[in-house]
Amino acid sequence: MIQAALFLVLLQPPKSILCVAPDGNDGWSGRIAKPNHKRTDGPLATIEAARDRLRKLPPGTPAMVEVEPGTYRITAPIVFTPQDSGSGIGDRAYYGSRGAVISGMRRIAGWRQLPNGWVVAKIPAEWDFSQLFVNGERRYRPRMPKQGYYTITGTVAPTDAAKGRGFDRFQFNAGEIRSDWANRDDVEILAFHYWSMSRNRIGSVDDASHVVTFKAPTGYDASWDDLPKGNRYLVENVKEALSEPGEWYLDKPTHTLTYVPKPGESIANIDVEAPVAESLIEFRGDLATKTWVRHIVVAGFGLQGTNWNLPPNGRNFPQAEADLSGAVRFTGARDCKLQGCSLAHFGAYAVDIGAASKNITVAVNTMTDLGGGGVKVGEQGWQKDPDLITEHCSIDSNVIQGGGRLHPAAVGVWIGQNPYIKVTNNFIRDLYYTGVSVGWSWGYAPDGAHDNLIVDNRISMIGQGVLSDMGGIYTLGIQPGTVLRGNRIHDVQSFSYGGWGIYQDEGSSHILIENNCVFRMKSADVHQHYGQENLYRNNVFAFGGEAQIMRTRAEDHLSFTMSGNIIYFGDDPLLASNWSGDNYKLDGNLYWRIGGKPFDFAGMTPDQWHAKGQDVHSVIADPMFVDPAKGDFRLKPGSPALKMGFKPFPALDPAFDGGAYRSLPRAFP
């Protein structure tokens, strides 16, 4: 055995090891972790210097960079290119020891205290930021109103300049928006639509008619992007509104930052940081020459702080904030890994696996306090060149929580028109829109998304009453081979309509949905807008809210089959929306209404429903869950569901299902 092991070791090429430490020097060899006693040699000071040293090795030579504990502040991303690649024999690996942090933030010092207890500091003129972190916690700019939302009081037709390009004005209550605000160009109007929110800059304010006009229209001439009477809005970054502990304001003309300390905070004990870098790590292959960056591992780091500022004409995107990028970016990358890292305090997404990237693994990371969402995979357009398709990526065993802090429509994991993506064993919680979004083709148009696996994820605290039209898992388009299996989804709460557990939106087709446990929705556990031949089996759907199952559009083909599911509910209806026609198939299910109360099937008695050929072999019986009120849907011995062949559901996991998780402070009312 020893001889065999030695033989394997001899087969491996020698691995170069470099060390990086806060007390290092980029002029040293980097071969030792601590400076020698004469300080003539020791570790390197920066990761970039270690990367550049490795570039001198023969291409593909396995190598390792060990980064000692400490904070490594950067103003531009650490970039890996094809010349930094490892090979199939061994990786180029960058390992952060516990406490090694790559930070895109800069500390703010030189504070002085005002007579009212507030503190101020001067900021370099070129530094602009819209996020601030005090003692490691996000703080927010002043907003109006201080509680709840304002509502638009009158619909106003768009200006001639905006017609056909969206909407650019509305009427407000007197005093909610003022023409005489200081630094009015820096004030932002956050307008909530349905499943999105736009950030808008003020062009003009008519104090007499109480009409605000934006510098640019919202961008889309559609009802879902309108500014109608009754819609909600917030006003952010108003200097005159600065008042509450924890608020801050950056006065750009005077380069002065003002912060209102929270109780217990003072100049002596506040550590204040703001972001500078727009990304932290980038893997950049060359798409034009099809030269890829390969076999690089980044592991064990704390990754903190990226900047995002509102463009001069404001910002609006139709759905999921899918145009935003991430703190860690992959483009033209192959066989690379991001694992065991803690990612926090970003202005957009945490990770963006972009064009022409294959076999990327994002595993066992924690992503929290995100301006956008967790992980984006792929692109919005359908890529026909096989070399340029992003595919075969794995998003596994990550914690993604506290997202949408700047952009509430961002999602936990977003997959575009891309195939063979695995999203497995993730914990996704505390978002204002969808948990996992799969596919990016509306209707029955060609879709590059297929054979994606969304398996064994725990998804909860979605929506939280901020936006509408969302799902714990959301799908779009024709997706043969895509499977949603073993996911536990609960507590999806929309603002108005559309708080669904599994939401199969336009054209969702040929998808298998099995062994999921979905409960406590605002609207329904399942909603199929329209699609073809989806299959639901061995799922638990409980406490759906307004109904348990919703279907919107009747079509000329089979919409879906629901066979072998448990549907468990209380006073709300079983079926809702449009159940006309016969192009759906329900059978072999187990239904139970708490207390055994009678119920109907979309207004039909069981006999009438059976006469349509539906649920002929289904059963009405108590499935005998262990404790459904507490989310424990294990089946007791003797359950009729077991006799019908249902597979048992797993026990609760206190780490994820219990009350120990403390949500980050809310970003929106």
190 domain residue, yes or no: no
Give the pLDDT confidence of 187-243 residue by residue, as tens digits.
999 999 999 999 999 999 999 999 999 999 999 999 999 999 999 999 999 999 999
Q: Which of 653 and 456 is assigned the larger pLDDT?
A: 456
Q: How far is CA 645 from CA 292, 538, 635, in A?
A: 49, 9, 12
- Give the pLDDT score at 341: 98
Whether 664 shows a pLDDT value over 90: the answer reads no
426 domain residue, yes or no: yes
Smallest Cα–Cα separation from 149: which of 176, 125, 170, 119? 176
* Cβ neighbour number for residue 40 with a 10 Å cutoff: 10
Report the mean per-residue pLDDT for the chain. Answer: 95
412 domain residue, yes or no: yes
First-to-final CA distance of the chain: 64
- State the Cα–Cα distance between residues 265 and 247, nearest whole angstrom: 13
Chain length of the chain: 669
Residues 55-65, mean pLDDT to the nearest whole number: 94
**In 3-state terms, what secondary structure has residue 230?**
coil
Whether 651 shows a pLDDT value over 80: the answer reads no
Give the pLDDT confidence of 378-399 residue by residue, as tens digits.
999 989 899 999 999 999 999 9
pTM, two decimals, is: 0.96
Q: How far is CA 3 from CA 6, 7, 15, 283, 658, in A?
A: 5, 6, 21, 39, 51
Are the beta carbons of 199 and 349 closer than 8 angstroms?
no
Phi, psi of 491 (to 5 degrees): 60, 65
- State the Cα–Cα distance between residues 279 and 303, nearest whole angstrom: 10
546 domain residue, yes or no: yes
C-alpha torsion angle, residues 177, 180, 185, 191 (rounded to 10): 0
Give the pLDDT confidence of 546-555 residue by residue, as tens digits.
999 999 999 9
| Number of separate domains in the chain | 1
Whether 659 shows a pLDDT value over 60: the answer reads no
Give the pLDDT confidence of 580-625 residue by residue, as tens digits.
999 999 999 999 999 988 999 999 999 999 999 999 999 999 999 9
Smallest Cα–Cα separation from 513: which of 574, 471, 557? 471
Q: Which two tokens stand for residue 125?
A: 């003129």
Whether 11 shows a pLDDT value over 50: the answer reads no
Phi, psi of 52 (to 5 degrees): -65, -35
Are the beta carbons of 494 and 470 closer than 8 angstroms?
yes
Cα 215–220–224 angle (5° rounding)? Answer: 115
* Residue 542: half-sphere exposure toward Cβ, Cα within 13 Å: 26
- Give the pLDDT score at 1: 39
532 domain residue, yes or no: yes
Are the beta carbons of 316 and 226 closer than 8 angstroms?
no
209 domain residue, yes or no: no
Can you give the three-state secondary structure of 37-83, one letter per residue? CCCCCCCECCHHHHHHHHCCCCCCCCEEEEECCEEEECCCCEEECHH
- Give the pLDDT score at 5: 36
- State the Cα–Cα distance between residues 106 and 308, nearest whole angstrom: 14
Domain extent at residue 545 = 348-657
Q: Which two tokens stand for residue 156?
A: 């106003």
Contacts of 218 (CB under 8 A, 6+ apart): 166, 167, 168, 191, 193, 198, 200, 225, 226, 227, 316
- Give the pLDDT score at 654: 61
- Give the pLDDT score at 279: 98
Give the pLDDT confidence of 129-165 residue by residue, as tens digits.
999 999 999 999 999 999 999 999 999 999 999 999 9
> What's the gap between Cα 467 and its chain centre?
14
Using the CB atoms, write b or e for 97-118: b if 16+ within 10 Å. Answer: beebbbbbbbebeebeeeeeeb
112 domain residue, yes or no: no
- The CATH number of residue 360's host domain is 2.160.20
Torsion 580-586-587-590 (CA) sign = negative
Smallest Cα–Cα separation from 602: which of 616, 588, 582? 582
- State the Cα–Cα distance between residues 446 and 564, nearest whole angstrom: 31
Query: What does DSSP assign to residue 262?
Result: P
- Give the pLDDT score at 27: 97
> What's the gap between Cα 220 and its chain centre?
23
Residues 259-273, mean pLDDT to the nearest whole number: 97
pLDDT above 90 as % of the chain: 92
Query: What does DSSP assign to residue 261?
Result: P
Q: Name the band, by pLDDT with cuts 50, 70 and 90, for residue 247.
A: very high
Are the beta carbons of 218 and 225 closer than 8 angstroms?
yes
- Give the pLDDT score at 647: 84
Residues 658-663, mean pLDDT to the nearest whole number: 54
Q: Name the band, by pLDDT with cuts 50, 70 and 90, for residue 656.
A: low
